[in-house]
A and B are shown apart, each in its own frame.
Chain A
């Protein structure tokens, strides 16, 4: 497996605050990699380092073995696209126009061509429009292509952001909390969408709080805690790791044990189990979404 995207020992320091220290990530072709961690763990900071929004204090990011430049525009044209944690569309452009902005980097019309609207220009515009419409259809938004982005419902806005990112013809797609605030149906639809994107040959990195979502989606999961990579492995490995449980739920104290026991005995009819074993893999998988209420 050759790595499409590789981050080597990326560190990021803001003043005296170490936001990331020596985080590495490898992403193979057609892989979906999850990035989880508590709030403030540095997930989005890591994304910003990958996309050139931040220049890492140390370390480097390689796309197909070539070092990525420290400039978001160039990173995007190199083939890394992203969405944002808090949706950032171009609100007073239509859905189609939003996606066409994504095509920008794959179009070549300069000012002179734009001034005269010659046949070549028109072919390019038509092609961009067609590709954008295809992408809207791909994410299921063809029906609202002429609606203003600001008027779209929340879930559609998330999808539109993905379509816009896909319009840049990325090799790697970075999704920052694509299901935040979604109901179970929408979350499931997003999962299918991400699988479909993977099937087109795009490698995907997903930040998500919803651990259940991540564990059923990803080929590999990395856990960030306080700027450090805690563990990297398959969903099963990560799910079973006590350090992950500890990072998410804290060290079990007497009270927590008691609470967990109470919860456990209420929700299941099993006999009570020893406290340290309570937050087992199943618990983490099913309960984590509830503590996602940020």
Chain B
């Protein structure tokens, strides 16, 4: 983005950003709506804090105030990467203001502020946000900021610990933002979206200040520590505000789809084979597990321990993966996509019509017994050290474990001879072949690995839902998974997790917009593909490919480069030639 040069005089840019920040702050202090409903005036009808009176700083207005103060501070103080920070803050403000404005307009008519004529809070804020963004672009965006990563290990560990704790808090807050949607809480959708705007704005500002890349480089340098802390944070989620049965269920569902998305990433992200029927493997895993679970409608009258059933499910899915992958020897590109699309459809139709008698058709297979370990059902609540955790927590822990395993498989394969072969095939299949890679075998292996991971996730999915129906594995699910991978960033683990989280948490949070959900989803995808084709958290190579940046943004000094590439080197245990020559 450094190609954007400044087209504003410095003094104008200063005026823009200061005025913008002040407008935001004024906006947060003003009333946001004094509109009249058709059947009653403001206080009588709109009883929610959502349209709070002037000078009330809570909820989204608190967020706006934080962004506004930050923008004012940055506008006046010469910090490195100032305009990048301001851009993030400005967009956050715009997002929050726009969400609430749109909602108020939709609910009350008018343009956010009518009737009373004094409630220009949203307008003031929106204009302020736009001014800040204009000032950021007009002042000329600086190159990425680089902070040194050379420091004693305990400082780095402390920084990472604090960062990941912050991440845990952010995840918890995002998950619970706006509360549980439904009739009782019709404002949860906008409040959630507004929170996402706030979090996005803050993160973008931190990124602009060079803090996020810095933390990411630090964590690469202290990989083992980061993994342990991240795992700890994931396991600590039930102890936060999100530790209710409802949020645990949502989180568990996200986890299942995240694991599946990472599996799909092997096929699409690493190997570059477009698979439009991938969710079928999740379905195969789920149905196999269901049939081996001892449920009344199961075909086989046996009840295998979960771990055995899950392994069988994974293997069966893997075999189907190899079968579906075999056309890759003959067809490429778009044609392969159509073959996989057809396979997905065959699976759904067979399941719907109970061909083979393993799916119980449209009646589904209900009543799967919960997984139990040491006599403890996974659907029960547990108590750890005095803290009573809600039911569903054990499933959540199981799924965290699943995601961790899937991530490890993905990461290890990616950084190996096999992973390099996959990427080589993605880059140029003919040359990969000319370099001695058996491309056919490698591609089928990619399909198998992806399918196996999905099958494993499917087994957990089946028990978590306790009902397995063909309806969970329709084409739209495949597309959503694919979108999760692309949205998050191809070949990137955090990307797949983030993508899956977004695409599967949004429907949960935006129930009141259910009829517009796909529309919004489509719009968001178009916008992201236009403005961030490399995905939200891109793989470093891919980022460079699509944006033309260096893999680490732009390595400035030697220490940075050394740090950044440290984890790739691996232990050098001497040059014993294990290779056949």
Contacts and interface: CB of A to CB of B under 8 A. Distances in A.
Interface of A: 51, 53, 72-73, 76-77, 82, 84, 88-94, 97, 100-111, 113-117, 119-131, 146-148, 150-151, 164, 168-169
Contacts of A126: 570-575
Contacts of B571: 122, 126
B206 interface: no
B361 interface: no
Nearest to B424: A101
A151 B437 contact: no
A127 B551 contact: no
Interface of B is mostly: helix
B423 interface: yes
Given A119-B573, A123-B573, A148-B551, A109 B417 contact: yes
A109 to B, nearest CB: 5
Nearest to A113: B416
Contacts of B431: 84, 88-90
Nearest to B575: A130
A121 B416 contact: yes
Given A109-B417, A123-B576, A91 B427 contact: yes
Interface stretch (B237-245, B494-502, B537-545): B537-545
B413 interface: yes
Nearest to B431: A88
Interface string B358-372: 000000000000000
Contact of B579 (A53, A73, A91, A107): A107
Contacts of A119: 573
A106 B427 contact: no
Contacts of B579: 103, 106-108, 124, 127-128, 131
B574 A117 contact: no
Interface in B395-452: 409, 412-413, 416-421, 423-424, 427-428, 430-439, 445, 449
Interface in B431-478: 431-439, 445, 449
Given A104-B420, A124-B579, A146-B561, A168 B435 contact: yes
Nearest to A82: B434
B565 interface: yes
A105 B436 contact: yes
A123 B427 CA distance: 27
Contacts of B430: 53, 72, 88
Nearest to A150: B545
Contacts of B573: 119, 122-123, 126
If over half of A's interface residues share one DSSP class (helix, strand or loop), that class is named, otherwise mixed; here it is helix
A116 B436 contact: no
B550 interface: yes
Contact of A111 (B418, B435, B437, B439): B418
B577 interface: yes
Residue picked from B424, B436, B551, most chain A C-beta under 10 Å: B436
A29 to B, nearest CB: 17
B427 A92 contact: yes
B416 A109 contact: yes
Contacts of A113: 416
B580 interface: yes
A101 B426 CA distance: 13
Contacts of B575: 126-127, 130
Given A72-B434, A82-B434, A148-B545, 16 more contacts: A73-B433, A76-B435, A88-B430, A93-B541, A101-B420, A101-B432, A104-B436, A107-B417, A108-B580, A114-B413, A114-B417, A123-B573, A126-B571, A126-B572, A150-B545, A164-B435
B542 A92 contact: yes
A127 B436 contact: no
B542 A105 contact: no
A92 B424 contact: no
B578 A104 contact: no
Nearest to B578: A124
B409 A115 contact: yes
27 contacts: A53-B430, A76-B435, A88-B430, A90-B432, A91-B427, A92-B427, A92-B542, A92-B544, A93-B420, A93-B424, A102-B435, A104-B436, A105-B437, A109-B417, A110-B418, A111-B418, A117-B412, A123-B576, A124-B417, A124-B578, A126-B574, A126-B575, A127-B578, A127-B579, A146-B551, A148-B541, A150-B545
Contacts of A168: 435-436
Contact of A146 (B409, B420, B423, B565): B565
B581 interface: yes
A39 B536 CA distance: 47
Contacts of A93: 420, 423-424, 427, 541
B443 to A, nearest CB: 13
Contacts of B437: 73, 101, 104-105
A72 to B, nearest CB: 5
B427 A151 contact: no
